Chain A
Amino acid sequence: MSATKIDDRIVRVDAMEKARGEALYVSDIKFPGMIYGTLVRSSIARGKIISINVPDLPEGYSFITADDIPEEGRNELWMIAKDWRCFASGDVKYVGETIGILCGPDRNMLSYLKERIKVEYEEEVPAVTIDDALSLKGGPIAGEDNIMCSLYCEKGEKMDDVFRKADSIFEETLETGFQEHVHLETNSAIVRLEDGRFTFYISAQCPFYVRKSVAGLLGLRPEDIVVKQTTTGGAFGGKEHFPDVLAGPLLVACNKIRKPIKLVFEREEDMLYSVKRHPSKVLFKTALDKEGNILGIDGKIYYNCGAYLSASYVVLQRGVFHANGVYDIPSTHLVGYGVATNTFPSDAFRGFGAPQTLFAIEMHLSHIARKFGFDPAEYKSRYFLKKGSETVTNGHIVEDVKLPEMFRQIADASDYERKSKEYEIGSGKGIGISFYNHGGAFTGNGEQAIIKAHARLVKTGDRVRIEVGSTEMGQGFQTALRKIAANALEIDISRVDYPNPDTSRVPDSGPTAASRSTMVVGKIVEDCALEMKARWDEGDFSVEKEYVHPDGHPWDQDTFRGDAYLGYGWGACIVEVEVDKLTNEVTTKGIWSSHDVGKAIDELIVHGQVNGGVIQSLGYASMEKMENRNGHFRQSSMSDYVVPTSMDFPKQEWFLVDNPYQWGPQGAKGMGELVFNGADAAYTDAVERALGATICKIPIPPEDIEEAIDNAR
């Protein structure tokens, strides 16, 4: 065994047990005496509950509702906001809101009984879309105006002055739809009593979120509850806060029944009754001079948050901060509104609010470029942010920006310039391009002020155990983190352990979200490892550290001014398509991407993340259509809501640039979300050029292309 170095090619530590079918996911785990639960949900989008009629239940079966929350508890899940109720009571605000949990030993019997629980409602008119909510359809849902949260930021001159100077104004509205995570493992959890403590086995990104969120239901403290993460079969943000919605009812039920209870969503439930990506509507009004140069951009950003705020304010903030993309626009005014509707609450999804505004700005600039006869790539590159450029929050870019180099890589590989000239607009052939970024970790000084992440290393003999609350959900963090530790300790990676987190044993490292794990938690682990290395001969001991934010980068969380992010991941993507003009069938001919992730901790893992993120983004743009009618999602299965298969897109060409981040472990920055943030716009640009259409809305499946062409006429 030799010391593992960061550039060594290593194999994923969890690959073999997963490939052999030996990794245990929640659905594979059984406990003696375990019974099953199933959620009984609202079947209407908005209204009062008149009555809940429960048939006589056989022995061993129970139906648990808000009435079963003990006096010392409160009927709320504490996500970021506390507004999400564990159980609806009195009224319902969206289709699928939990009314109760039916528990018992036999799953067939549970389905039989569930059908016989009848809820009577007095229905009200739901507001489903952003426009419904803004026009107060059915009366306000939240506050007086349905605006649950809002913020703005501005840079440069006042907008009135900018528009007074403009030679022309270009206005358009860009929209994105719901997106469902479709992690292949559905949401699932088990609760039981272990040594008198409520203990969860759960498929979740953030075990510490779960205990904080549900403890109050029984009037307990978070530390009274134990959460053990099980092998997690994909998450993508869908298991950031949403596991709380399973854990809450399970906890209340277990408090009454005192038996292990398992709740595993069927695919249909996971499709219809789980959180989605926020649909968005972005209105851009851009002031231009005679030559087509941008003087300023005024943006209004609306996100459909659904019925509860949960994490939406934070999602919206990220959306606003990314609304000028990778561009240094001289003057800008950006305002974001989180809108309440009677749909299932929207929540975290890879990119966390950034993909929506990045799509909008990319398409908007492409449209302006084409109007003035410029190639979009050439036009956009004039505005690239550079080190020292002012950001939309009046902070500065503190790192080198390598977009020109990244553009060169993919332009050469794809022969972009030639194709861009040769493929005539509307010829059926098109090549499209996008540039994007993703701010790493929590905004501003949030890592230090709010999260206060901890990590610990424990040395026993010649082995070292990593103790963090961060989770492996498929992204390769178990491997990456062990590699960071082994590299710093100068030992072989096989001597480093990293068990799945159990909240009773590991410190809180903050959520596994926001592309922060490698960059922030990885850094703390590296610092712990360096100290452990220096003290190696002291025998068995442990080292624990807290995250320290670099000095000199002010941020004001009340006014949203300052350095929102210290390090960004950067990306550029080119997609080439051919569109059959008779059938509107789109064939993707090539995909090229380049990403700046600082330094790749493990190239094979980054390769997999790039491939997966890009395909998810292409699915978002091209086929993943989730419609909502009257508050009901219409796509309920994997045959209605289609995600990419191995046949839909060709093999990708991908590149990295080296740009070590001074505060990351070995120079690494976040990457998990970045790789989602731009292929959608490159694809849409390519389809637009092939068709000679203007597309302002995704997804754009073949059946919707005709409409886009008509609109362009």
Chain B
Amino acid sequence: MRRFFAVCRYEFRMQIRKRSLWLSTAGLAVLIAVAQGDRGPRYLPADADAARVMGSWALLFSMLLPIGFGMVLADRLVRDHRLGAASLLASLPTRPGALVAGKYAGSVAATAVPALLALLVTAAGEFVHRGDPALFPSAVAAFAVVLLPGLAFVAAFALVGPLVLSAPLFRVLFAGYWFWGNLLGPNYLPSLTGTLLTPIGDYPASWLIGERALYAGTPGWLSFLRPEPGGGAALLSVVLLAVLATPPLVFASPLLARRTSS
């Protein structure tokens, strides 16, 4: 356990110092704030409640921010080999499982910080107009239920995917997946958009906002994965994402070991 925390702490420290992490978050957040169109949270009525405002913002952020995170995280496990630190790590009396788990937790934490910060800054901006102090706790809650599960899901694939593909190829495929599986309207092409499996968090956001958010529940292909939104569906969505993120993490240790010993 101590080794796990050590890896987590240092992985977090290394990533939080990466300029690309902050630049991508800031760039995408500004883009969202400026280009959201008149159905965006900026244009919600003045009396809209805090959960609805921040839930809508969280959903918007979670549509784009994870793309940047996926790109940034894509080299975190493979870079030990690229840098030449892998042999040393493999020679230390730390189990590969602790290494992978620590790096994963550190990665999630390192992407969670700028994401949460972006939401808090937004809450401050909204506070200037709306003057409702409940915006701040709502921002934290919206972060926890809408953004965080998606970040954790993306981190698992972004860390492990490049062990099988290559980091650049993974990035291309990941961006393609993101638009196809999360943003593409479900009525045009068969896609995962609007299902319980979308890391964007349509279901938790719908639950928080109190109405159908984005594509949650939109009928179309895969309609069994698009139940009516609500508390139960939101929880199920988070659980399913966690379940889907587990296999890559389980396979990471053997994949890493194979890489080091060849």
A binds B: no
